[in-house]
Amino acid sequence: MKILLAAPRGFCAGVNMAVQSLDLALKHFGAPVYVYHEIVHNQYVVKSFQSKGAVFVDSLEEIPPKSTVLFSAHGVAPTIRKLASERELHAIDATCPLVTKVHLEAIKFAKEHYTIVLIGHQGHDEVIGTMGEAPEAIVLVESTQEVDRLEYGPDTKLAYLTQTTLSVDDANRIIQRLKSRFPWIVGPPKEDICYATQNRQEAVRVIADEATKVIVLGSQNSSNSQRLRELAQEQGRTAYLVDGPEDLSVEWFEESDVVLVTAGASAPEEVVASTLAWLESNFDSTLELREVRKEEVHFPLPRALRVLQ
C-alpha cells in the first residue's frame, strides 16, 4: 500500500489558538472551566479536554454565576455576551479572528441598511453567531435553489457573506447565482472562506487523482471535514470521514490501494499519527508526504490570556 500524506492538514491557526486558550485557562484558573458549545468540532479534542476538567454547555444558564467561560472558535452572538455579563461570568473570547471578520462585516452592512444574504449551513455554531449580529437584516441560504426563491428588487440594497468553512466550489456557485439574479449585490472586501479551509481543499483536489481511497480525519459535525470528504467523492474516490483509526476497517482497503490521508482543520496531529500507524501495522505500506502549500499563519491568544503567559 502507498500512503500519500497531505499537507497542509489538521489544526488551522484559529483552532490552535482556541485549544491553547482552553489549555492555558485550565492551568491558570483550574477546573472547571466552562466552554459555550464545543471548543472545536472534534470529538477527540472535546473528550481530551473533558478529562482535564472542561465542561461544555449549550446554555449559559448551566454555568454557575461568576465562573470562567470560554467562547469557542466559532464565535457567539451579542446576546450571549450580554447574558455572560449579566451572570458575572469571566468570559474569555477564543473566537477565530477570521470569524470575527465576518461578524464585523455583518454589523457594517446592517448599519448601512443592506439586506445580507449569508451563505452557510443552518444550525452551525458559526452561522448562529453571525446571524445574531443583525438578525433582522440577515437571510440564510444553503443552495442555488434557495437563491432562486429570493425575491428582491433593485431598490433593495443587497450584500452577501459566507460561513468561513464552506466548500470553495459550492460557495462560488451560490455567489455566481446571486450575482446573476441580483447584479447590484455587493460582497465583502476580501472573501470570507478561510485560508485553511481553502488550502486543505486544494490539497485534496490536487492529490486525489493519484489515490484510490481517501481518509479524512475529522468529526461528523465538522463542516470543513465534511467538505473534504465530499470533494474527494466528487473526484470519483471512495472517501471515509472518521474520528480516528478505531473507526476504520481493514475490509475497506486492498494491499494495492493508494490511500490519501488528510485531516480537517479541527483534527489534531496525534490522530493523524495513530491512523498512519494503524495503516502501517495492517498493510505493507510506504509513506510519502505531499505538501501542496506552506502555512505560516498564527493568531495571538485572547487579550485576557496574554497577560498570563
Beta bridge partners of 240: 215
Phi-psi region of 84 (alpha: psi -120 to 50; beta: other; left: phi over 0): alpha
Catalytic one of 38, 105, 126, 230: 126
| CA dihedral sign, ordered 177, 293, 203, 166 | negative
**Does the annotation mark 126 as catalytic?**
yes
Cell of residue 232, nine digits = 474527494
Beta bridge partners of 116: 138, 159
**Residue whose entry in the numeric block shows the C-alpha cell 471535514:** 225
For 284, phi and psi rounded to 5 degrees? -75, 100
Measure the CA–CA gap between 146 and 142, rounded to whole angstroms: 7
Instruction: Kindly compute the dihedral angle of the four CA atoms of residues 15, 17, 21, 24, in this order, to the nearest 10 degrees.
Output: 110
Q: What is the 8-class DSSP label of residue 91? A: E
What 3-state DSSP class applies to 292?
coil
What 3-state DSSP class applies to 150?
coil
> Looking at the annotation, which residues are catalytic?
126
